[in-house]
């Protein structure tokens, strides 16, 4: 009973911090994820909690499902807040980041993992694929504002839309790593099967069902006769129902649920783009995402110390993490944006703020739960260090960098961070 009461009190405190901390931290060069990891690390040093922080590898199914849940909730929130309609030209920066930056990142990280860490091809590809996507959960500080509020400059839009899609697009490479680790022989036939199933089919199913479910539910919410129109409920938790239903349907059809959820959110938003109910749906998804994120990051911080998550860390692992964050992602992003016509400062921000986080943990847990990988301890420690450095590095630089660029561009972020409505320049 005592442990239960302590856990209950801790959860209550965490909920309160989830609500209050963002307001306190908005004016500081400090992010909520940094605070959460610090809490977890501190708790792991307390005697009563020291035995409750095992290594994630000991509970792969639990870690996989928890991180999966927070990612899909985050993807729903990200899709709902995008005001810009999907299109080739309107999303050209996103397509460049997905089609050029991510493959270049994976290729470079595979080379680094093989040379620096001595990993085999399967393990190197898994680590590279897990670290390549921008995390949709921890990237909230560089994403666009709530629906229909106009806070959608190119930097924030690119990072939001990239984070929404690249998690699903990294999955084919994770499946390829699993196939390489599981197969005794892997030739042209196996490669063709992988491409047909894990690239073409799964992506197509995710997109198709996402559009179908999003538009179908959007019609039910916004286009039924007024007495039966479901948007009149005003219930924000409908977002969770849409998320879970879409993810399950796409997974049952052997598609990528991550892509399906994000596309469903875009399609739902597109059925009646300016409706105020989207704000309610987004607010619920954002609040739930923040709560789940805090719980998992506290656990991540505790596992760093109490769970021995960094016990296999080596100097080559440190070099790998630093090169991944300071060289590989920024350089890949910069190359992909050459000729895009975007200003230099925007290209720097988009290239640099490729935040790594809970999506990486999910991919590692998923792959290690489905195939035998050698040197799993090195994979965990290297990925954990990369996530930790990313949380601290990007968390401390996001606020001042974006504030500086916004001021130079004439955008008032001081009031935006406090959720204050500003008069437009014309009406002022």
CA distance 321 to 331: 15
Going by pLDDT thresholds of 50, 70 and 90, the confidence category of residue 148 is low
Give mean pLDDT, residues 346-360.
Answer: 88
User: Quick one: average pLDDT of 242-258?
Assistant: 95
Residue 233: pLDDT band (50, 70, 90) is low
Whole-number pLDDT of residue 414: 46
pTM: 0.88
- pLDDT at 405 (0 to 100): 80
Q: How confident is the model at residue 343 (pLDDT cuts 50, 70, 90)?
A: confident
Q: Are 383 and 135 in contact (CB under 8 A)?
A: no
Reply yes or no on whether the pLDDT at 224 is more than 60: yes
Task: Choose between 214 and 402: higher pLDDT.
Answer: 214
Per-residue pLDDT tens over the stretch 19-28: 777 777 666 6
Give the pLDDT band (50/70/90) at residue 97: very high
Structure confidence at residue 401 (pLDDT): 81
pLDDT of 423 reads: 39
Residue spans per domain, the chain: 60-404
Lowest-confidence region among 136-145, 152-161, 273-282: 136-145
Higher local confidence (pLDDT), 384 or 355: 384
CATH code at 60-404: 1.20.1530.20
Residue range 95-110: average pLDDT?
94
| Residue-level pLDDT at 50 | 53
Output the average pLDDT for the chain: 84
Query: 235-241 long-range CB contacts below 8 Å, 24 or more apart?
Result: 235/280, 236/280, 236/281, 236/283, 236/284, 236/285, 237/284, 238/281, 238/284, 239/76, 239/77, 239/80, 239/281, 239/282, 239/284, 239/285, 240/73, 240/284, 240/285, 240/288
| Averaged pLDDT, 319-331 | 95
DSSP secondary structure letters along 294-316: HHHHHHHHHHHHTT-TTTT--HH
Q: With 90 as the cut, is the pLDDT of residue 58 above it?
A: no
Burial 147-169, CB ≥16 within 10 A → b, else e: bbeebbbbbbbbbbbbbbbbbbb
Q: Which residue has the tokens 């286009």?
A: 223
pLDDT at position 255 is 94
375-417 pLDDT, tens digit per residue, is: 899 999 999 999 999 999 888 888 788 777 877 766 654 434 4
| Structure confidence at residue 72 (pLDDT) | 94
């Amino acid at each position: 009973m005592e442990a239960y009461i302590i856990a209950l009190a801790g959860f209550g405190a965490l909920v309160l911090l989830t609500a209050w901390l963002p307001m306190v931290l908005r004016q500081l060069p400090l992010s909520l994820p940094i605070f959460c990891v610090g809490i977890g690390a501190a708790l792991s040093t307390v005697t009563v909690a020291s035995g409750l922080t095992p290594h994630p590898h000991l509970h792969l199914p639990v870690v996989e499902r928890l991180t999966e849940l927070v990612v899909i909730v985050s993807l729903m929130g990200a899709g709902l807040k995008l005001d810009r309609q999907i299109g080739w030209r309107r999303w050209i920066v996103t397509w460049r980041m997905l089609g050029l930056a991510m493959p270049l990142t994976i290729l470079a990280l595979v080379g680094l993992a093989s040379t620096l860490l001595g990993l085999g091809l399967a393990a190197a590809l898994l680590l590279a694929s897990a670290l390549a996507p921008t995390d949709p959960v921890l990237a909230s500080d560089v994403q666009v504002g709530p629906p229909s509020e106009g806070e959608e400059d190119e930097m924030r839009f690119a990072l939001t839309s990239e984070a929404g899609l690249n998690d699903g697009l990294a999955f084919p490479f994770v499946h390829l790593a699993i196939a390489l680790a599981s197969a005794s022989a892997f030739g042209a036939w196996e490669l063709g099967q992988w491409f047909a199933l894990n690239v073409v089919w799964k992506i197509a199913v995710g997109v198709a069902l996402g559009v179908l479910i999003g538009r179908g539910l959007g019609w039910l919410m916004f286009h039924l006769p007024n007495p039966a129109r479901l948007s009149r409920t005003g219930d924000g938790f409908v977002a969770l129902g849409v998320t879970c239903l879409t993810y399950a349907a796409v997974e049952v059809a052997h598609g990528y649920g991550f892509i399906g959820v994000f596309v469903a959110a875009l399609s739902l938003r597109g059925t009646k783009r300016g409706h105020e109910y989207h704000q309610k749906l987004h607010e619920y998804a954002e609040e739930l995402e923040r709560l789940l994120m805090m719980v998992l990051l506290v656990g991540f911080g505790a596992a760093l110390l109490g769970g021995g998550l960094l016990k296999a860390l080596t100097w080559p692992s440190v070099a790998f993490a630093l090169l991944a964050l300071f060289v590989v992602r920024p350089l890949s992003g910069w190359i992909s944006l050459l000729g895009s016509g975007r200003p230099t400062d925007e290209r720097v921000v988009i290239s640099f703020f490729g935040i790594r986080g809970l999506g990486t943990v999910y991919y590692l847990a998923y792959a290690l739960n489905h195939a035998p990988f050698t040197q799993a301890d090195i994979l965990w420690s290297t990925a954990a260090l990369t996530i930790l450095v990313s949380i601290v590095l990007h968390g401390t630089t996001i606020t001042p960098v974006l504030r500086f660029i916004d001021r130079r561009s004439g955008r008032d972020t001081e009031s935006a961070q406090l959720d204050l409505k500003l008069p437009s320049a014309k009406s002022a």
